Structure 1
Amino acid sequence: MIGLACTSILSVSTGVQSVKAESQPPLQHSQRLNDAMQPFKTIGEGTGWFYDLLANNLFDGYISTNTTTINLKSRFNSKNYAIRDSDNNSLKHFTSSNNGAPYDIDVTGLFKAGQNYYVTTSDDVGVIFSFHVVEGAELNVPTINKVTNLDTKITGTGVPGATIHLTIAGNDYNGTVNTSGNYNISLNKVYPVNSQITLYQEKDNIKSDSITATVVEADHLDGPKINTVTDQDTTVTGTATPGANVHVTVNGLNFSHIASPTGDFSINIEKKYPANTPISVYQELNGVKSDTVEVYVQLTADFIVNKIKSDANNITGSTHPNAQISIRIHDEDFSGTADGNGNFNINLQGATFAVGTEVTITSVSSEGTFTKTLQIYPRDPIIGLVFAGDDEIRGTVDPGASVTINVGGEKYQTTAGATVTVSTSINGLESDPVTTTVNLNR
């Protein structure tokens, strides 16, 4: 056959990068020359290409039955081409776009696995390139665990890295399957019994079939989780099912509060109670009551956690000697042990967290279990050198921080010896102020 003086760039839209089957025979072509009078560049097993044809998007001459679009770019305007099978039957004709712009060719359902195909000029003067088609991968349907009218999360399994597309009562949610094959999708509310759920998973442009489920009546509601209450506290805090009514009983007095959309609650019990006073707590949602959780007021512990800043590498503080310290930030856990004097220093292992992130720290020892919930504060500003006559001050702070600068009581103008004070705040959380002195000479 005669090689054509045609420059073409091909890419394909496909659901999966197919793996070349070892049993497939190499494609045979006669040696041809391109328009530079040089041999064709060979990529893959015997597949001839023009010297400037980008073959990486064609997976070394192999594509799958999932391929739906071929994108071709030719330097010739309005040139006619054809896709042919190994029997030279013309399956599709197309024409290059004007000005050499890329154009898409719809090949949905055109190819059969195990067959060779060729792109030629429409008059079949020569083969421009060829490729072999292998069977495309399929994606199994995901699984879904039981969903009740009290649930604010939907869980199940799927292919690691796949995106789960979920619709419940007309509302859409998305989540990603983790490396263990599990997904956990948070809902912004609970849904009533008989709400319909539809979901499927998608990966590498391949979609699974959809499955359906129905919200069912809950027959059990877990008890709420209560943070430590000391003899200095006037509130009971913890977490419950979002939207649940949390009931607290202390010394025969009843209090209640609706848990927030994130499940947090803080209930004012009006006064302090002595150590060992029992506190009973349960939650109720949609007519379902949880078991009652009972805790006791604890003696005030010497449990001190130093301020945590956004650039912190460690969390430090003091508690009872040899206490076990556990820290939870988002979904990450850190732990350690206090020394014989009660001091602790827990390494965050390089993790960093945004200002305002909630940190829960628990100390467990023979003296009892104590929990504190804190927030991460802005880091201290870093101030560059400031010289007399400068009309700007440069430095580094947390992204999005509001910066307050005091320069010897004046703004925007510096004098030698003046003290510069910089502090930042984010959502009401303020950094410690940092000061420097204006230099006389550079």
Structure 2
Amino acid sequence: MSPKITVIGTGYLGATHAAAMAELGFEVLGLDISEEKVALLRRGRTPMYEPGLEDILRRHVAGLPGSSGRLDFTTSYAEAAAFGDVHFICVNTPQRPGEYACDMSFVDAAVESLAPHLARPALVVGKSTVPVGSAARLARRIAELAPAGEDAELAWNPEFLREGFAVEDTLHPDRIVAGVTSERAEALLREVYAAPIDGGTPFLATDLPTAELVKTAANAFLSTKISFINAMAEICEAAGGDVVRLAEALGHDDRIGRKFLRAGIGFGGGCLPKDIRAFMARAGELGAAEAVAFLREIDSINMRRRVHTVELTREMLGGSLLGKRVAVLGAAFKPDSDDVRDSPALNIAGQLHLQGAEVTIYDPKATENARRVFPTLRYAGSAREAAEGAHGVLHLTEWREFRELDPAVLGEVVSERHLLDGRNTLDPALWRKAGWTYRALGRPTV
């Protein structure tokens, strides 16, 4: 008989994981302390935008027409403990206010709430990104609190989801990492992930610390690669080079590869920035701060891109932002997402506004989230509406819709045809041919 699965926390990670487990054929119960979120999910709706997720929810949420009925949601830890054999913890681990360190309060609260109800053998599986060493501490706490004692085990199974591709990454992951302390835990996780394993996904069983480190190390490496090419963009601007051509030449080297070598306004979102900072904080606690000291400069390069974009915009508009109308295309930190957490695009828009520009933003999906963060900015329902009367247009989130814009048509509504491509994804020749002044980070002005 297949194990029953619970998912603690139904945000971006948890809702996707719960739906995907139901898609793989398991009976799943998702838990969240928010009654509003649970009610929304029970209607087959999600609290965030993620392509394909609502389709899976509607196929499996109990009570919806034509659903399999394999997926339901609750606010009760007692109900979750009685239901499940495997309990995935998928709660948020944000950065502590005023610190680099990770806030473990949501993970700790989940363990403290679930463990006292574990009266029979169970496997608690952490998926949240946590500082190395957290799993061992939590395993001891579960053993102390659970009536089942040592039969309530802990494993760590980090997530590697990309927003915009989360459903695909869950159903067909590029690897499965399982930090375990017993053969039983490994066997149970192999059973849960039997479908992707049979499909060729590698399954790597490790100790707990290694499993905790994998996600953090991966994000540190990706951040380093992004900031490296952005540092090269700074050099290109100083030397008159073209960072796009430079990246293309570097990408032909198989040892380097092409991915994450697109210079621009830098990375953001709910993972990379806070994860590299938490990594630095934890390394310091372990007495290994020097090993990741380079990440401080990686973070600095990344944040510098935002300031530099504001400076380029001021330069493009004649040396002053005061009273200038600026259209910002994009508010989400990446396309195919409505996530504006630590979004470079929204941060730049806010800086421009504070320095005197009249900023109007358009984003296909993230407008409402952006409005909650920056209610004083203006928001439009289309790129054309945002660009009306603008002295400059900034392309800051690389939605496909923006790549398909007609420069001539957009040029009909602006006051001045000035474009700053913050993502280096638009065609300079096409925009210049339509009479636009095209600027981009790390590329020649002409």
Same fold (TM over 0.5): no
Relative to the length of structure 1, the TM-score reads 0.22
Relative to the length of structure 2, the TM-score reads 0.22
More strand by share: 1
RCO (CA 8 Å, sep 6+): is it higher in 1 or 2?
Answer: 2
